[in-house]
């Protein structure tokens, strides 16, 4: 009789996903990024048909200006995920979707949610007023190229301010280990937003396409928070119990560091397109914006392995299961890096073929050299960001000085080299900063934090 214990396991997709460290949250996150890449290709094709180069430049400049929300959220979104994950270690959802578990942890979680409601309500109002005026002034300084941007910009600023208000409640859900559901809704949100963009483009709506995308995302967020998770958030409309999270002692020590770093991070991620439109015109800005959108989408997809594990990292740290934490971190980081390399190579080869065969869409993207350098810079940055997720899961933020210096160096190099040499100069500045400073500094801090916390 055969020894059944020696029978090899049959291959199955589920087992393959397990070997690749792809669980439901990672699966939906990757599927979201894949959709964004495919939808981005569709958007590029439609832009070549319905947008001229100048309109494309304004479209991506809008996105860079809206990204000034980092000046208003002040790092609180990241803090929320880490703080909630420590409380959720003692809580869970019941069959109806309501929160159950230790009364003190439940009360502390509710107190945090009520605090966020007030904080982001004020931040949203300030965002609408300040960003709409700053963006209007900046765009009004550019040469008139016949693009109707004023009305779409003002409506977009209002819609983006309302969308900012929903941001922390998504973070609460992520911190409470609802990452799979949140990522699934983000996928739905992305599909709806892309359909809205494409529809407006096709009917000749021009820059109103950006407004349509933001409005669609806002509608999906409201459905998720007010309907799908209504039982989860119901207790947040009533005062919390005696046990409460102290903003001064538990949130602020981490938040102020993230807030300062977040303000400077704008220069590392969103300064590229405004620099290009200011020094090289709307057409180059459109090429820069479209290429950078693809690069950051690839980076975000690869980062899914690490990012979706942040709540799990926090729960393992709360339970002091470091022997389980470290192997998990090493595995998911390895998969993130490999995924980034493979996806970057695939995109660069695709761009090479588009240029070799003189496809019109290639003219809407940057040249091969600049794109390749940007992909290398994003790969180095991904590894540095993985170390950050590990450390922040300990509710620590020792990266403040490094983050400020790194982002200032990035902003300075993008501004100077970008203004002199265009996208290729900005790409070289970005790669040099991340390779020579950001990654080595993050590695030293990670080593020190790990040694101290695990002692």
Containing structural domain, residue 85: 19-453
pLDDT at residue 423, as a whole number: 93
**Residue that wins the pLDDT comparison between 180 and 216:** 216
- Residue 16 pLDDT greater than 80, yes or no: no
What's the number of domains the chain is made of? 1
Rounded mean pLDDT, 335-353: 94
- The answer to whether residue 223 sits within a structural domain is yes
**Residue that wins the pLDDT comparison between 13 and 344:** 344
Rounded mean pLDDT, 289-295: 89
Rounded mean pLDDT, 360-370: 90
User: What is the spatial distance between Cα 66 and Cα 136, in angstroms, rounded to a whole number?
Assistant: 12
Chain segment 200-244, per-residue pLDDT in tens: 999 999 999 999 999 999 999 999 988 989 999 988 888 877 788
- The answer to whether residue 10 sits within a structural domain is no
pLDDT at residue 79, as a whole number: 81
- The answer to whether residue 11 sits within a structural domain is no
Chain segment 84-93, per-residue pLDDT in tens: 888 888 888 8
- Residue 8 pLDDT greater than 60, yes or no: no
- For residue 32, which of 192, 201, 228 has the smallest C-alpha distance? 192
Contact of 339 with 302, CB cutoff 8 Å: yes
Chain segment 37-82, per-residue pLDDT in tens: 788 888 888 988 898 888 989 998 998 889 888 788 777 777 888 7
**Residue that wins the pLDDT comparison between 168 and 124:** 124
- The answer to whether residue 353 sits within a structural domain is yes
Q: Mean pLDDT of all residues in the chain?
A: 86
- The answer to whether residue 341 sits within a structural domain is yes
**Residue that wins the pLDDT comparison between 76 and 352:** 352
Rounded mean pLDDT, 115-133: 91
Statement: the pTM of the whole predicted model exceeds 0.85: no
Rounded mean pLDDT, 361-376: 93
pLDDT at residue 434, as a whole number: 94
- The answer to whether residue 182 sits within a structural domain is yes
- The answer to whether residue 303 sits within a structural domain is yes
pLDDT at residue 11, as a whole number: 52
- The answer to whether residue 2 sits within a structural domain is no
Model confidence at 126, pLDDT cuts 50, 70, 90, reads very high
List the beta bridge partners of residue 101. 91
């Amino acid at each position: 009789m055969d020894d059944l214990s020696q029978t090899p396991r049959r291959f199955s997709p589920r087992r393959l996903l397990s070997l690749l460290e792809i669980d439901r949250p990672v699966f939906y996150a990757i599927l979201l990024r894949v959709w964004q890449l495919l939808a981005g290709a569709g958007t590029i094709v439609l832009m070549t048909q319905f947008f001229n180069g100048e309109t494309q430049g304004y479209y991506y400049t809008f996105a860079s200006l809206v990204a000034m929300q980092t000046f208003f959220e002040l790092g609180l979104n990241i803090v929320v995920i880490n703080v909630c994950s420590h409380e959720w270690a003692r809580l869970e959802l019941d069959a109806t979707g309501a929160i159950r578990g230790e009364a003190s942890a439940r009360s502390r979680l509710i107190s945090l949610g009520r605090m966020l409601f007030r904080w982001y309500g004020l931040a949203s109002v300030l965002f609408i007023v300040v960003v709409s005026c700053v963006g209007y002034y900046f765009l009004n300084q550019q040469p008139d190229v016949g693009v109707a941007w004023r009305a779409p910009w003002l409506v977009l600023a209002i819609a983006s301010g309302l969308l900012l208000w929903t941001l922390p409640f998504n973070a609460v859900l992520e911190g409470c280990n609802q990452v799979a559901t949140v990522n699934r809704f983000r996928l739905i949100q992305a599909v709806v937003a892309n359909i809205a963009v494409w529809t407006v483009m096709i009917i000749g709506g021009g820059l109103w396409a950006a407004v349509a995308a933001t409005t669609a995302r806002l509608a999906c967020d409201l459905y998720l928070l007010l309907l799908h998770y209504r039982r989860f958030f119901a207790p947040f409309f009533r005062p919390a119990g005696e046990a409460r999270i102290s903003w001064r002692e538990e949130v602020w020590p981490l938040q102020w560091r993230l807030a300062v770093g977040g303000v400077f991070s704008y220069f590392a991620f969103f300064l590229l397109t405004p620099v290009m439109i200011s020094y090289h015109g709307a057409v180059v800005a459109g090429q820069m914006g479209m290429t950078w959108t693809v690069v950051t989408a690839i980076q975000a997809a690869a980062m899914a392995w690490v990012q979706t594990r942040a709540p799990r990292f926090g729960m393992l740290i709360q339970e002091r299961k470091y022997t389980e934490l470290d192997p998990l971190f090493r595995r998911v980081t390895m998969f993130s890096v490999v995924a980034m390399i493979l996806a970057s190579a695939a995109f660069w080869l695709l761009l090479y073929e588009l240029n070799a065969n003189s496809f019109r869409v290639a003219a809407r993207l940057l040249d091969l050299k600049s794109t390749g350098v940007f992909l290398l810079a994003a790969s180095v940055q991904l590894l540095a960001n993985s170390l950050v997720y590990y450390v922040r899961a300990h509710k620590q933020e020792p990266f403040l000085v490094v983050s400020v210096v790194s982002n200032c160096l990035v902003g300075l190099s993008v501004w100077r080299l970008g203004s002199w040499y265009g996208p290729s100069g900005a790409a070289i500045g970005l790669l040099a900063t991340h390779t020579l400073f950001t990654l080595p500094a993050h590695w030293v801090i990670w080593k020190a934090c790990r040694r101290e916390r695990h002692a």
